[in-house]
Chains A and B, each alone.
Chain A
Amino acid sequence: MSDVRMFDSRPATAVDAESPLAVSNLAERARRSAADPGVTLRERAFLGHLILRGGAIVLDEAVREVLGVSLPARPGALVHDADGERSIQWLSPDEWLVIVPEGEAYSLEKRLRDALGDAHFAIVDVSGGQTLVELSGPRAREVLMKSTPYDVHPRHFPAGKGVTTIFGKATAILRRPDEDRWELVLRRSFADYCYRWLVDAGEEYGLAVEASGR
């Protein structure tokens, strides 16, 4: 759709950037990490986040062409590309979340728009509005059980699934990319609250924080 104004929000020359969890003092929390942690948290900041809106049939072709994976049409489905760096997740019958490595969002949007041509769709860059936090460790599931009413039992939440649900008193996208990891996609303004919630919920199991930055 040519009448949509694309916008590359990343500076041509690098400037200081602050992820949504810059305020959360990760370095200090990392320093106090438990020696034998039951749960480990890691922020994966500055990834490219795009919201894709449109009909599944229309989008599928473009997504396969550009990302090399089929659009997950099943509710709750999450798929990754071959090297696991790019993912696309069903959010609603006409909405998907694409997460790609830092710096790829704008070019991806452009290629998708080119592929989609005049179809009715929307692509929205939300990279500045959310961040991704990874949970791992043997007690990660219990931390999630304290946090969300959604059933995170492996029978109900296998790898390759993702949902939008309640987190504490906020909301989050909860995903399970593989057997060993969980991912939370947090809205920027709620990120510190959610992070504090996680740190609190994880305390009894022994918590480690990996300060990752980029």
Chain B
Amino acid sequence: MSQSSSQPNRLAQGGRVDRTRKLTFTFNGKRYTGHPGDTLASALLANGVDVVNRSFKYSRPRGIVAAGAEEPNAVVQLGSSEAAQVPNVRATQQALYDGLEARSTNGWPNVQRDLMGSVGKLGGSFMPPGFYYKTFMAPASMWMTYEKYIRKSAGLGRSPVESDPDIYDHMNQHCDVLVIGAGPAGLSAALAAAYSGARVILCDEQEAMGGSLLDSRETLDGDTATRWVDAAIDELASLDNVTLLARTTANGYHDHNFVTLHERRTEHLADVAPRVDGRRQSRSRLHRVRAAQVVLATGAHERPLVYGNNDVPGNLLAGAVSTYIRRYGVAPGQKLVLSTSNDHGYRAALDWQEAGREVVAIADARDNPDGELVEQARAAGIRIITGSAVIEAKGDKRVSGARVAQIDIDGFRVAGKAEELACDTIASSGGYSPVIHLSSHTGTRPVWRDDILGFVPGDVTGMTPAGGAHGVYALDAVLEDGVAAGNRAAEAGGFPAASVNLPRASAHRESPAVALYQVPHEKPTLRAPKQFVDLQNDVTAAGIDVATREGFESIEHVKRYTAMGFGTDQGKLGNINGMAIAARCLGQTIPETGTTVFRPNYTPVTFGAIVGRHCRELFDPERYTALHEWHVEHGAEFEDVGQWKRPWYFPRTVNGKKESMHEAVARECLAVRQGVGILDASTLGKIDIQGPDAREFLGRVYTNKWAKLAPGRVRYGLMCKDDGMLMDDGTTSCLGDNHFLMTTTTGGAAGVLEWLEIWHQTEWPELEVYFNSVTDHWATMTVTGPEARKLLAEITDIDLDKEAFKFMDWKEGNVAGVPARVFRISFTGELAYEINVQANYAMHVWKTLFAHGEKYDLTPYGTETMHVLRAEKGLIIVGQDTDGSVTPEDLNMYWAIGYDKPFPWIGKRALSRPDTRRVDRKQLVGLRPHDPKVVLEEGAQIVFDPEQSIPMTMVGHVTSSYYSPILDSGFALAVVKGGHHRMGETVYLPMVDGKVHAAEIVSTVFYDPKGERQHV
């Protein structure tokens, strides 16, 4: 690595950098030094680094143009390790820290010598205007061809391939007034709102608050403007109703004044967030702000002029030149030519000369400029060429000269002979564009103002623009506009307007600006040297001209044809110029042409910040039952059921070898069929229903009858939507005449409760009934198998005699000394007891069952075994065997449909619609594969005729399929067209590998068809 310790462009004094301390950094592997207070961009300029990137399309060398968020070229890859890589960082916004490592994102193999450069020099015939548009409109395969080549050469930065070592988080904020931008308007607005008593948040995207005042030539109260900035910030920081957020960009302005702020908390310190007292801190933080009122004090971006070769390094915005000199003590060159359409640009020339550098000339597009700054330049002896502009820059990797000529703006032509001035820097100013991006996020259309030659924000409820964003540029007026906006916002929230002692700013006499966007050249636009509009996406004036010639008249179409504004900078510099050029080509005004829509985010936000802490173990809630720890300790494999973690199966280790899932499930199944097993069924939804109309309500939402269910009894019910399709099922127990306990599927719990509420609240509010979730209150343990009674009898005082406690009864008593409700219901077809106890005591009961269960080889089983056992009995799982297009009739569950119930229950009417009456509806059946060793694939499609040519007529699909240990064969549930009337027929299942399985349509009940085992 070569060492460059001198900073050739660093001025001896001035700026807000600390020259007593040196920071070392590398750019493209080369080591440089800078100072605290520098940005990466200012340090690069101080070190005389001209080329920072290659352009996206033409691969032309590019240098730093701007000093803030609008920078299109200096987009770098940051990070000293693979894990810390950050793509697409604007060097103008990245504070310098010791050890910073950055490299260009574009330029393959490097920025100095670039293979793609030769393509660009050929005139860009490889990628003409409309390239992307035409490529996307072409057959998709063409894009696949281009993509690799374009991506490799364009290189828009790359993501790290290792895990991010940092954490990111979110903070929810609320305030009465959110002030975005802490320049003169934002500071005065914040002071006014704060004095009114409102809760205020003031955010600013830069390293330091103060905005334009940080590099202003103007004085406040006769002192440097930064004095007032410091005092204002101190004042705001002392107020407990104010939150100051520095290094915080307002990135998105969403519905109802919801604004997202991205706070970079440690990016100015290192590329990995340092720990504080050994504790992690988030690298960046997304503030989710709900603001009653927003003051938009985002300032204005200077517009560059569009002239030939305006992209050669050394072409800068006039304001950026001033910023680098005054704020960072860096003069980015020796000899300056300024091209301007307004007075403000003159500051760059004055600052340049005061820095001891040479101002070659000012090309002023106006014929008779006479503002105060103009007079100052004249008095300083600077040559001013009126009625002229730089029409073309000379140079390759650095500006070597400027061609200046008289221009006729109205006639869009060069009016005189061009003079070539030797220089290494060209500054241009075409006026200002208010930063309206955030207001545009809301969907409001910006409004063009001829007097300021720019768009200002359209109306947004609860938003007040102030200062530059409002098209107000004179400092005294900006400060007053800020106070007015702060007060307006505070008053909207009911706070009294406050007065702010504003500092005195000198008023300046200004000569009017002239509207100049694209500068004419001797040659017509299509043949002139490239005049860049959007530097990041290599969109030229000629490209826009071509777009309009090809008939793209809407600015949104021009944007998509040329890719103008599609870069990570969203065309912050180029869009207005582009619209102006399109307007001129179309022979209309800018407001007639309109503007494109800016969308969030204002500047790129790392995905980490968007995700926040919702990652890894906090990605999504994991819901645990009261027995979760036991399951973990006993080696359960878990299955995600919604957010629940349910034991899937419990593999045992036999002779040092862990069972496979198949082995474990087979063992668990047989244990239930032949001994006794136990399932944690706590995840089932449970709804307590009380009220005199509870029974009536059940009758309306279930398909079957509830009028006669006696206390102590349990019934299975089906719940449909009004379209007749099954939505949930479960048992409901009558606890008392006015008291029921409904169970739902695990996944359906919340939905069913909301379903009951919507009917109660919107259709039948007269019914006296209340629904409450008790899912989490109860733990449910299913003890099932031939030995279940014997085991349970050991630890309960409930009479388990088969006559005293019948199938579909429930009883109260004690189990293991804990009050319990025991339900004799079965999802396995075996003798089964569902023990419900208050969840705090569940672990005690569970462990007691195991203490007594050892002699019965009590076997814990999981959801997989549960699925096999229920399927052997033909018991459905809603959402697996049904999919929202299945009626109870399709399931052959006529026994659970109360056609003659008095109230027209939900779903009933739909069962007589023509579609639900079709005889060829897909109906649930059992499938027995001809080869018992075959386990059909769930989801496999079914055909009647295996010889039919493709595409075959598909008549249904497998919904559940397992190997049955007790039957020692595969078996399946399926839906088949007209299946209920096809018992005994053979259907076929063609598989992807060419095999065709044959299966017989059979009853859905494969085991114990008479249902004797659960009644023992």
Contact = CB atoms under 8 A, between A and B. Distances in A.
Contacts of A17: 840-841, 844
Given A120-B691, A193-B623, A53 B628 contact: no
Contacts of A13: 817
Interface residues of B, number: 65
A151 B174 contact: yes
A7 B774 CA distance: 13
A129 B776 contact: yes
Interface string A1-30: 111110111111101111110110000000
A146 interface: yes
A196 B691 CA distance: 39
5 contacts: A12-B817, A15-B817, A128-B841, A145-B171, A193-B623
B516 to A, nearest CB: 48
Nearest to A147: B172
A151 to B, nearest CB: 4
A128 B776 contact: yes
B950 interface: no
Dominant secondary structure of chain A at its interface with chain B = loop
Interface of A: 1-5, 7-13, 15-20, 22-23, 46, 51, 53-54, 94, 120-130, 142, 145-146, 148-151, 153, 155-156, 168-170, 187-190, 192-194, 196-197, 200-201, 203-204, 206
A146 B172 contact: yes
B839 A190 contact: no
A179 to B, nearest CB: 16
A120 B692 contact: yes
Given A3-B738, A200-B618, A124 B172 contact: no
Given A17-B844, A187-B776, A192-B622, 4 more contacts: A12-B817, A129-B773, A149-B288, A204-B276
A1 B738 contact: yes
A20 B618 contact: no
A128 B618 contact: no
Nearest to B628: A23
Which 6 A-B pairs rank lowest in CB-CB distance, beginning with the nearest? Answer: A129-B776, A129-B777, A9-B838, A128-B838, A3-B737, A122-B770
Contacts of B288: 149
A168 to B, nearest CB: 7
A94 B759 CA distance: 17
Contact of A148 (B172, B768, B818): B172
A197 B620 CA distance: 11
B522 interface: no
Nearest to A207: B279
B737 A51 contact: no
B244 to A, nearest CB: 15
Interface in B569-625: 613-614, 617-618, 620-625
Given A5-B739, A148-B172, A200-B618, A22 B629 contact: yes
Given A15-B816, A146-B172, A151-B174, A126 B621 contact: no
A20 B628 CA distance: 10
Contacts of B688: 122, 124
Contacts of A142: 171
Given A128-B779, A192-B624, A19 B739 contact: no
A204 B279 CA distance: 6
A96 B772 CA distance: 12
Nearest to A190: B621
Contacts of A190: 621, 623
B819 A127 contact: no
B772 A124 contact: yes
A151 B175 CA distance: 9
Nearest to A51: B772
B112 interface: no
Given A4-B690, A15-B816, A200-B613, A126 B774 contact: yes
A72 B737 CA distance: 31
Contact of B772 (A53, A149, A187, A194): A53
A128 B774 CA distance: 9
Contacts of B735: 4-5
B840 A18 contact: yes
B280 interface: yes
B939 interface: no
A55 B617 CA distance: 42
A176 to B, nearest CB: 15
Given A22-B629, A146-B169, A169-B614, A128 B840 contact: yes
B103 interface: no
B839 A129 contact: yes
Contacts of B277: 206
B690 A122 contact: yes
A10 B819 contact: yes
Interface in B489-530: none
B838 A10 contact: yes
B812 interface: yes
Contacts of A155: 199
Given A15-B816, A120-B691, A120-B692, A204 B736 contact: no
B837 interface: yes
Contacts of B816: 15
Contact of A124 (B690, B819, B842): B690
B274 interface: no
Interface in B782-820: 812, 814, 816-819
Nearest to B711: A5
B618 A146 contact: no
A11 B818 contact: yes
Pick the most buried of A12, A17, A22, A153: most chain B CB atoms within 10 A of its CB: A17
A4 B843 contact: no
Nearest to B779: A128
Contact of A127 (B290, B644, B777): B777
A145 B772 CA distance: 29
B821 interface: yes
A203 B277 CA distance: 11
B626 interface: yes
Nearest to B839: A128
Contacts of A170: 621
B353 interface: no
A153 B812 CA distance: 48
B840 A169 contact: no
Contacts of B818: 11, 15
B618 A193 contact: yes
B703 interface: no
B843 A204 contact: no
Given A187-B776, A190-B621, A15 B838 contact: no
Nearest to A36: B277
Contacts of A5: 711, 735-736, 739
A197 B843 contact: no
Contacts of B171: 142, 145-146
Contacts of A94: 770
A8 B837 CA distance: 10
Interface string B656-684: 00000000000000000000000000010
A196 B282 CA distance: 17
Contact of B776 (A8, A188, A194): A188
Contact of B770 (A22, A53, A187, A206): A53
A151 B690 contact: no
B629 A156 contact: no
A211 to B, nearest CB: 16
A125 B735 CA distance: 14
B844 A189 contact: no
A19 B736 CA distance: 29
B621 A169 contact: yes
B778 interface: yes
B966 to A, nearest CB: 33
B840 A46 contact: yes
Contacts of A148: 172
A142 B172 CA distance: 9
A184 B692 CA distance: 34
Contacts of B622: 192-193
A206 to B, nearest CB: 7
B170 interface: yes
Contacts of A127: 777, 838, 840
